[in-house]
Amino acid sequence: MNRSDIARAERALVEQVLKREDVGRRRMFAVAAWSVAGAAAATTVPASPALAQAAPARRILQKDDSRILNIGATVRSGKYWNFSTWITPVEEFYVRNHYPTPTAEQKPELDPRNWKVKVHGNGLERELELTYDDLLKMRSRTVFATMECHGNGRTVFWEQLDMKDVTGGNWVLGAVGLAEWEYVPLSEIFARAGLRPDAKALLFWSGVDGAGDIGRPMPMREVLSRPDDIGLAFRMNGNPLLPDHGAPVRALVTGWGGAASTKWLTEIKVATHDFWVRLNTKAEVFAGPDYPKPTPAPGDEFRNVGPEDIHGPMVEWMPVKSFITVPLVIEKSPSVPANYPLKRGELPTLAAGRQTIRGYAWGPQHGLRKVEYRIDGGPWREAHIRPPNLGRYTWSRFDFEWDAPAGEHVIETRATDNAGISQPPTVPFNLYGMANNAIPKFRIRVV
Ligand SMILES: Nc1nc2c(c(=O)[nH]1)N[C@H]1C(S)=C(S)[C@@H](COP(=O)(O)O)O[C@H]1N2
Ligand SMILES: [Mo]
């Protein structure tokens, strides 16, 4: 198959997928995953007993992911230099927890048979309690969406922007992936709980992991601009959520940084006041001279923090970004990730001659329009965006051909979204290293 054949086949596949009914779609993906993995075709691996019991009508052909994954991770960066698929397999999906992964063995409330979410607050007409079973009976949707940690690309502050005072973990560029999420949209919750017109903010809260202080608020105007695109996710790439990704149910806030998508969800509160919690005060916020601190209003709700903890505005949408599947050189960062393929100061190598350079680009808020690249500071040229490119929330793969001459080179990539916003050469300093989308520089040695 040549490239246009592949593109046509991919488009046909996506169209087919988009037309299918819910269950059919998942089945197809599960089958595709099996054949890619080279596993025996048509082998049905049953769901775990707990899940099968909780969801008899939804049993599907399913891999037993629990046997191949390192459950219990606190952080695990995606090996983005190896990415090749459009959908990121769950085995390769980054994990970002502030505390160790809680499991149903330690926390019985996370067993799907026990799980409940409390939906309440003075912004609603009535309080609800929904079980996992209730959720499975409600109208659900699926979406192909990237999930990206705010801290993804923090490495670029240290390595390429000379901002050594930035603090936080070193993800390089691996804290992003694309999954097919199945979720019950908030619109469905509001239809049952009744939304009051004076509701101001919504809080997704877990309270299960670690110190019980993890959750994240959203302004109601943002929620109401897309109540079908935000919700309670219970499947990832067609399979029930794994413990690392928030089993049995997590929030899904498409387009916003991962911190908004509270895992191990247990509470949704809608109120006529704002909420201040750890993840919108002293973490997951822009702290720095270019970012004015928000001020709380009287009557606001504080959980585990006080007004003095507010360090800056909360990070919301993730900006337009790109990378090529080449590991960045690590020299000045405080650490090198455990699974990194290069030693400190080492350059990746590539054979001289004609090479296809591949990468990923995304514009969560407006969708991806264009990807450009340049070699050694030369002219910007347009890369080829490979379908599917499904607009906002999703990413696309791109590639370009390069006649690589021997020697050391620098490749830069610049994505532009449908609002005409491009990746900038630099971004303002922020202490926690949030949302860095400066044009990355990939140093490479051609031999
Ligand atoms: N309860 C809870 N939810 C959480 C977190 C957490 O530590 N606890 N981490 C958040 C952050 S910072 C990110 S980036 C995403 C990561 O989701 P993933 O591990 O499924 O990739 O989960 C978010 N939800
Ligand atoms: Mo994150």
Q: What is the DSSP annotation of 28-45?
A: HHHHHHHHHHTPPTTPPP
Q: Is the pLDDT of residue 70 over 70?
A: no
Ligand 1 and 155: CB distance under 6 A = no
What is the Rg, in whole angstroms, of the alpha carbon atoms belonging to the chain? 22
Q: Which atom of ligand 1 is nearest to the CA of 94?
A: 21
Specify the pTM: 0.86
Which pLDDT score is estimated for 357?
A: 97
CA 165 to ligand 2 centroid distance, Å: 19
- Which amino acid makes up residue 281? T
Which pLDDT score is estimated for 426?
A: 98
Quick check: 126 and 194 in contact, CB under 8 A? yes
**How far lies 81's CA from each of 85, 199, 201, 357, 416, in Å?**
12, 44, 39, 11, 22
Residue of minimum CA distance from atom 5 in ligand 1: 97
CA 53 to ligand 2 centroid distance, Å: 32
State both tokens at 335.
């650490």
> pLDDT band for position 408 (50/70/90)?
very high
- Mean pLDDT computed over 170-192: 97
State both tokens at 24.
């059919």
Quick check: 334 and 374 in contact, CB under 8 A? no
Which pLDDT score is estimated for 5?
A: 53
Q: Is the pLDDT of residue 122 over 80?
A: yes
Ligand 1 and 278: CB distance under 6 A = no
- The preferred substitution site among 90, 98, 318 for testing ligand 1, maximizing ligand atoms within 8 Å of CB, is 98
Which pLDDT score is estimated for 428?
A: 98
Distance CA 381, CA 39 (A): 41
Closest CA to 173 of 444, 445, 437: 437
Distance CA 232, CA 141 (A): 10
Ligand 1 and 87: CB distance under 6 A = no
Q: Is the pLDDT of residue 351 over 60?
A: yes
Phi, psi of 142 (to 5 degrees): -125, 150
Q: Is the dihedral of CA 311, 316, 317, 323 positive or negative?
A: positive
Ligand 1 and 76: CB distance under 6 A = no
- The preferred substitution site among 80, 96, 204 for testing ligand 1, maximizing ligand atoms within 8 Å of CB, is 96
> pLDDT band for position 21 (50/70/90)?
very low
Q: Is the pLDDT of residue 22 over 70?
A: no
Q: Is the pLDDT of residue 1 over 60?
A: no
Quick check: 385 and 368 in contact, CB under 8 A? yes
Quick check: 400 and 373 in contact, CB under 8 A? yes
CA 264 to ligand 2 centroid distance, Å: 15
Which pLDDT score is estimated for 71?
A: 47
Which pLDDT score is estimated for 272?
A: 98
The mean-pLDDT minimum among 67-71, 183-187, 194-198, 271-275 falls in: 67-71
Q: Which ligand does the CA of 97 lie closest to?
A: 1
CA 391 to chain centroid: 16
User: 257-312, pLDDT tens digit by residue?
Assistant: 999 999 999 999 999 999 999 999 999 999 999 999 999 999 999 999 999 999 99
Residues with Cβ < 8 Å from 346, sequence gap 6 or more?
329
Q: Which atom of ligand 1 is nearest to the CA of 236?
A: 20
Closest CA to 76 of 206, 169, 212: 169
CA 77 to ligand 2 centroid distance, Å: 11
- Which amino acid makes up residue 406? A
In order of start, what are the domains of the chain with their CATH numbers? 47-309 (3.90.420.10), 321-446 (2.60.40.650)
Q: Which atom of ligand 1 is nearest to the CA of 246?
A: 20
CA 398 to ligand 1 centroid distance, Å: 28
Ligand 1 and 215: CB distance under 6 A = no
Provide, for the chain, the percentages of residues in helix, strand and coil under a 3-state DSSP scheme, each rounded to the nearest 5.
Answer: 20, 30, 50
CA 258 to ligand 2 centroid distance, Å: 5
Which pLDDT score is estimated for 76?
A: 86
| Residues around ligand 2, an ion, CB closer than 5 A | 96, 149, 258-259
Which pLDDT score is estimated for 337?
A: 84
Q: Which ligand does the CA of 147 lie closest to?
A: 1
State both tokens at 46.
């049953």
CA 259 to ligand 1 centroid distance, Å: 5
Ligand 1 and 96: CB distance under 6 A = yes
Which pLDDT score is estimated for 284?
A: 98
Q: Is the pLDDT of residue 198 over 70?
A: yes
Q: Which atom of ligand 1 is nearest to the CA of 284?
A: 12
Percent of the chain beyond pLDDT 90? 81
Query: Residue 177: which H helix or E strand, with range?
Result: strand 176-185
Residues with Cβ < 8 Å from 338, sequence gap 6 or more?
none
Ligand 1 and 264: CB distance under 6 A = yes
Question: What's the mean pLDDT when you consider all of the chain?
Answer: 87
